[in-house]
Chains A and B, each alone.
Chain A
């Protein structure tokens, strides 16, 4: 029965017993168990990644009113495996002028930067890699590694389109990262911890998306920008710079950029679920009632988490396939003149209210947080409306002047 409530520790303890029984030193046995656990986690992520190729292609097809892959296997489920075989047996072309070392490191780094995020991803209360007390900082740090991979790929390809893609990625990074880091302070304040698991547990009563809906929206936008997905896909922009940074890549090296992007999107769907929607838990206290105690089972929690993460991934896909690409100057203006000030206002609001409302009962605290966010949102919309009105009047005056002359 212990297996049903704590499968990872159960298997680890069992394996540790066997290894020490063979006469291994205790620390060596622990390292071997770590290695096995890490490999299982990464293989799970990779299998999921393969299935995401299918999900992505199928969902895109539905958004564009097509059928999508439906020939190989039932519902085209074998299609991603065929894709992988194709990518592996394609010729790998390296352009003559490329910086070979950087060129070869970039796709590996693009994939690794996503895989290492899985080290802190809690799939269930007892199924997770490691619960770092600086999890939030780890998330930001690992996220910027992916950006670095794209810059390396763009620079080393010795191609003008790729270089433009890399430069655009830098612009992308310097604009989204500030709102993202600032908004990550909001869950930190609300949960009073930086550990990812601690943040999940802090939401067993109320989701942070309810306490601070604006923070959730800002995080969603900056996460999409970090992923480099449409409407922020300036770094690949097929119609302008012919797929940008990965233009010179072929075969499995291109495959890693593609697979890395999909897994990155899913992982960020997972982090959205963890930071704002309670992750594997977040049943509004339901799991404490005796009848619903099965919600505490790690397997149930894993299903809940994957479902929430898939939903986040689906929202990211939904935005990707319904939005046109944003222009680079618009993106910088949007991030610096709108998102960053708004993120700072939300942060200050959260910091002060969490201090002022701390003595209220939980529902008073939640309502105060929620309505303050709604108020900030309404004021923001009103300011934007007034600004847009001013712009339109100015343009109208200009047109009238020209017509008059």
Chain B
């Protein structure tokens, strides 16, 4: 398989991978009973009547973690080419990669020392 037909294969796989889960859902729609009523369709909240909307502004306490996550996720993108060409690189360039990692680690230590890694 050349690389072009590999991606054609992946594309076909995605299509069939989406169709296969849909088939039983369509089948269920045909055979399953459907008798909706307002009580049945009401939002489940352990038997208590729902108060207010669920789509509200919600405080995500891990907001700062998400920022650090973003930095590290981008870092990983740069590390994959480095890891792949490691065998051909001289030791000096490998250590430069380590330096790159340590710069990001210093960011992690900074956030840690600032107390951003604590749950508030």
Q: Which residues of A contact B (CB under 8 A)?
A: 30-31, 34-35, 38-39, 42, 46, 84, 87-97, 107-108, 111-112, 115-116, 119, 129-133, 136-138, 155, 157-163, 167, 170-171, 174-175, 177-178, 181-182, 185, 188-189, 192-194, 242, 247-248, 251-253, 255-256, 328-329, 332-333, 336-337, 340-341, 344, 347-348, 351-352, 354-356, 358
A191 to chain B, nearest CB (A): 10
Hey, which chain A residues are within 8 Å of B29, CB to CB? 92
**Contact partners of B18 in chain A: CB under 8 A:** 108, 112
Give bound CA distance, A325 to B115, whole Å. 25
Q: Across the interface, do B108 and A340 meet the contact criterion of CB distance under 8 Å?
A: yes
Inter-chain contacts of B89 with A (CB < 8 A) = 355
A205 to chain B, nearest CB (A): 16
Q: Knowing A38-B12, A133-B3, A351-B86 touch, does A115 contact B20 (C-beta < 8 A)?
A: yes
Known contacts A88-B31, A129-B9, A167-B60, A115 near B21 by CB under 8 Å: yes
Verify if B110 is at the interface (C-beta below 8 Å from A): no
What 3 A-B pairs are tightest by C-beta distance, nearest first? A329-B119, A111-B21, A115-B17
Residues of the A chain whose Cβ atoms lie less than 8 Å from the Cβ of B44: 95, 159, 161, 242, 247-248
What is the CB-to-nearest-CB distance from B34 to chain A, in angstroms, rounded to a whole number?
6
Question: Provided the pairs A119-B13, A337-B112, A351-B83 are in contact, do residues A90 and B21 lie with their beta carbons within 8 angstroms?
Answer: no
Are A252's CB and B25's CB within 8 A?
yes
Query: In the complex the two chains form, is A341's CB within 8 Å of B9's CB?
Result: no
Q: How far is the CB of A161 from chain B (nearest CB, A)?
A: 7
Please measure, in the bound complex, the distance between the C-alpha atom of A341 and the C-alpha atom of B101, giving whole angstroms.
11
**Which B residues are CB-close (under 8 A) to A111?**
20-21
A164 to B84: give the CA distance in the assembly, Å: 39
Query: Are A30's CB and B28's CB within 8 A?
Result: no
Subset of 17 A-B contacts with CB under 8 Å: A31-B12, A42-B16, A46-B20, A88-B31, A112-B17, A130-B10, A131-B6, A158-B53, A159-B44, A163-B55, A171-B60, A174-B65, A194-B84, A332-B119, A340-B108, A348-B98, A351-B97
A contact patch SS: helix
Interchain CB contact under 8 A, B9 and A34: yes
Q: Which of B5, B6, B44, B50 has the most CB of A within 10 A?
A: B44
* A94 CB contacts on chain B under 8 angstroms: 36, 41
- Tell me whether A192 and B1 are in contact (CB under 8 A): no
Q: Tell me how many residue pairs across A and B have CB atoms closer than 8 Å.
A: 210
- Bound-state CA distance A255–B28 (Å) is 11
User: Do residues A132 and B21 form an inter-chain contact, with CB atoms below 8 A?
Assistant: no
Q: Which residue of A lies closest to B18 (CB)?
A: A112
Contact (A189, B83) CB under 8 Å given A158-B43, A160-B45, A181-B73 = yes
Chain B residues contacting A352 (CB-CB under 8 Å) are 91, 94-95, 98
Residue of B nearest to A133 (CB): B3
Residues in chain B near residue A248, CB distance under 8 A: 43-44
Contact: A175 with B54, CB < 8 Å?
Answer: no
Q: How far is the CA of A131 from the CA of B37 in the complex (A)?
A: 51
Contact B25 A253 (CB under 8 A): yes
Verify A181–B117 contact, CB threshold 8 A. Answer: no
Q: Name the A residues within 8 Å of B24 (CB-CB).
A: 84, 88, 252, 255-256
Query: Which listed residue (B6, B13, B62) contacts A332, Cβ 8 A?
Result: B62
Contacts of A255 in B (CB 8 A): 24
Known pairs A95-B41, A96-B43, A119-B10. 15 more at Cβ < 8 A?
A42-B17, A89-B28, A89-B33, A92-B29, A108-B21, A116-B13, A159-B43, A159-B44, A163-B54, A167-B60, A170-B60, A332-B119, A333-B117, A341-B105, A348-B101
Name the distance in Å between A256's Cβ and chain B's nearest Cβ: 6
The answer on a CB contact under 8 Å between B62 and A351 is: no
Task: Determine the chain A residues whose CB is within 8 A of the CB of B20 once the complex forms.
Answer: 42, 46, 111-112, 115
Name the residue of chain A whose CB is nearest to the CB of B46: A242
Which residues of A have CB within 8 Å of B36? Answer: 93-94
Instruction: Tell me if B114 counts as interface (CB < 8 A to partner A).
Output: no
The answer on a CB contact under 8 Å between B45 and A192 is no
Q: In the complex, what residue of chain B is closest to A111 when comparing beta carbons?
A: B21
Q: How far is the CA of A62 from the CA of B41 in the complex (A)?
A: 37
Q: Tell me, rounded to whole Å, the shortest Cβ–Cβ distance linking A37 to chain B.
A: 8
Q: Indicate with 1 or 0, residue by residue over B58-93, a CB within 8 angstroms of chain A CB atoms.
A: 101010011011001100100110011011010100
